[in-house]
Amino acid sequence: MISINHHTKPAALFQRGMSLLFSLLALAALSLAAVALVRSVNTSSQVIGNLGFKQDATSAGGRATETAIGWLQANAAILDADHPDAGYYATALDAMDPTGRTTTTTNKLGLINWDIDGCAYATPGTFANCGLLSAPVAPAAGETNNSRYLISRLCEKAEVMSGTNICAKPAGASLTDAVSRGEIRVGTELRPTKLSTSPYYRIIVRTVGARNTVSYTETIIHF
C-alpha cells in the first residue's frame, strides 16, 4: 500500500504573513502623514512669522510718516520749491511708480532710487528714469527696520500756488451735523469745518525689515 503525504502550509503562518504586510502599509502611511504634518507646521510658522515681520515693518512706516509730517511743519516756508536731498518735491509726480511693479517697457514711469543703487529692484529697461530721491529715517532704539520717505506736493508746478499753478486741496468749508454732549437735550447743530487753503501732500514710505520684508505705505495730508 502506497501512502502519500501532503504537506500544507498552516493557516497560522499565512495569517502572520498578512499581518506583517498590513503593518508595513500602516507604518508607511503613518510616516507619510508625519512628514506632511511637519511640513504643514513649518509652512504655517513661516507664514505667521512673515506676517509678523510685515506688521512690524508697517508700524515702522507709520513712525516714518510722522517724521515726514514733522519735516513739513518745520519747513513750511520753503515748500514751493523742490528739495530732493530732503526727499521733497513740490509737484505731483504723476508719472511716478513707487514700487517699480507697474512700469513696463511700453509704459515707462519714473522710479524712486530707494537704495541709491540705480533702482536695482526694478527690471532694467522698464522704467523711464531713476532720479527721485528719498530721505532716511533714523530707526528707534533696538529697531532693525530701515525706513525712507518721499513727499510730493500735489501741484502742477514747483512754485507758489496760484491760478496758473493748480494744486489739489480741500474744496472749502462744509457744514456737518454735530452732537452736543453733557446736556440733557441732545440736538442737531450745524458747525462749519475749518477752511484750509493748504494743498494736499502725498507721503510715500518704504520700510525694509527682517527677512527682507518690504512694506509700502501712502498717506495724504493737508494742514
Place of cell 506583517: 20
Nearest to 214 by CA among 23, 56, 12: 56
pLDDT at 150: 97
pLDDT tens, 79-96?
A: 999 999 999 999 999 999
Report DSSP state, residue 14: H
**How far, CA to CA in Å, does 96 sit from each of 106, 125, 135, 221?**
15, 15, 17, 19
**Residues, the chain, total?**
223
Helix (H) or strand (E) holding 158: none
pLDDT confidence tier of residue 221, bands split at 50, 70 and 90:
very high
Average pLDDT value for residue range 181-201 = 61
pLDDT at 174: 47
The two beta strands, 135-137 and 146-153, are: antiparallel
Task: Read off the pTM.
Answer: 0.70
Asked whether the beta carbons of 208 and 185 are under 8 A apart, the reply is no
Q: Domains of the chain: which residue ranges?
A: 18-221
Asked whether the beta carbons of 93 and 152 are under 8 A apart, the reply is yes
Average pLDDT value for residue range 2-6 = 53
pLDDT at 196: 63
Asked whether the beta carbons of 207 and 146 are under 8 A apart, the reply is yes
